[in-house]
Structure 1
Amino acid sequence: MWDNDLELKFIEFFQAEPILWDTKHRNYKNKNLNHDAWGRIAQLMDLPIPDLKKKKESLFASYRKYRKMVKDSYQSGAGENELYKPVWFAYEALDGCLSDGLTPKITINTQSRDEQPGTSTITSEEEIMNKPGETKNEITTSRTGRSRSLQCEVKEAGRHVKEALSLFQESVKRRESQEPPDDCEIYGMGLAKKLRAFSEEERLEIMYEFDGIILNRRRTKQPNRFTNTVFNPSSEYTRSSSAMSSPSPGISCYSEPLQHKMASI
């Protein structure tokens, strides 16, 4: 079920919900709001929340493994061009929001080995913070800039998620409002599928013949419809008179002569 594209899509929606991964978020520990965030992702992905949480743990485990390999390559004293670069498809996508939360940021001294032979100093931010004055200010400025950049990215991702959710809800409403296809629509779709198996010229001939069948059927139905809908008084009168003067077989009628009736009166 899961493929690379679907996992990247999940990561994008996950990044748009900082409440799920930003430990500094004021509602990070709010279970109700966390559940709501997972619910929004589940609606966009059309997948149950438990499956999404399992996939999140799997992605995080893979990210931590590759992140450790990157960190180890920094600490090994390798040159900038020799540092380990993960080829895992989801590493960069996850690194955008998890690099600060899972492991400390690493900085590298980019001076070439020709300028300082035998030296390649790798220091963590914790070590740099022990240096006086200006270095601490630089770290603070760097963190502030990175935080602002991340906030902008989160806002932009949130906007995309809201747009996607709005489109999804509109699509659901349209599907719910549409009536199910009747027999004619189903037959038409099946006929279209069959027609595509023929060449363009053959399709035109078949459609022409089919139109002829429809036209002939309409012509044959016209007289019947005319006869059934028009009422003819003279013919109705003739049928009524005939029925009265000719009783059906098996039914006997006795009528007393008029003169006899008058005499009895």
Structure 2
Amino acid sequence: MYDWTNELSVKFMDNYQSQPILWDPKLRGHKDKAKTNDAWTKISKELNIPIEELKNKKNSIMATFRGHLRKKKASIRSGVGQNKVYQPIWFLFNHINSFLGTINDCNSTINTEQVRKLLSKLLLIKNIDTHLYQ
């Protein structure tokens, strides 16, 4: 186990951010084990910490980040005023959010019944327009 000071954690996140192949699923090589292993090797050499230790720390950091992000989003959805929205004070939150904030966002869900009703209305309007202008 390494002594993960705040300073070392920030340095690790700086190195992690500099290797988008590890965190950006839109990149072609994101699932290429050789490319991702190369990226982990670069970070490992830079920090002189074994890859397995780095991966464990990344998982721990990401779990904490997701918890704070979930809490912030929940406070926004609750309808509280802007001054009452949860603002994480965790030292890594803003740094990680600056490059991962939108990466892990899920697309909003779609109510298929509402879509079906809307499409039916649009088709009905189109049919009415077609008959009126013939």
Query: Shorter-chain TM-score: which interval?
Result: 0.7 to 0.9
Displacement of 1:81: 1.3
Structure 1 gap segments, 5+ residues each: 106-123, 131-265
Superposed CA RMSD in Å reads 2.1
State the partner residue of 2:87: 85
Larger Rg: 1
Structure 1 position 100, deviation (Å)? 1.3
Whichever residue aligns with residue 80 of structure 1, its letter is Q
Total equivalences in the alignment? 110
Q: 2:24 aligns with which of 22, 28, 48?
A: 22
Tell me which residue corresponds to 1:184.
none
For residues 15-45 of structure 1, give each alpha carbon's deviation from its aligned partner in whole angstroms, at most 9, with x where no partner exists. Answer: 0000000010110000001000000000000
1:21-76 Cα distance to aligned partner (Å, 9 max, x none) = 00101100000010000000000001110000000000000001000000100100
Match of 1:58 in 2: 60
Contact 1:22 1:28 in 2 (8 A): yes
1:96 CA displacement: 1.3
CA distance in 2, matches of 1:93, 1:57: 16
Match of 1:96 in 2: 98
Q: Which residue of 2 aligns with 1:114?
A: none
Q: Percentage identity across aligned positions?
A: 37
Per the normalisation by structure 2, the TM-score is: 0.76
Q: The residue matched to 1:50 in structure 2 has which SS?
A: helix
Task: Give the TM-score, by structure 1 length.
Answer: 0.39
1:46 counterpart residue number: 48
Q: In structure 2, what is the equivalent of residue 11 of structure 1?
A: 13
Q: Over residues 202-251 of structure 1, what are the superposed CA-to-partner deviations in whole Å (9 max), with x where a residue is unaligned? A: xxxxxxxxxxxxxxxxxxxxxxxxxxxxxxxxxxxxxxxxxxxxxxxxxx
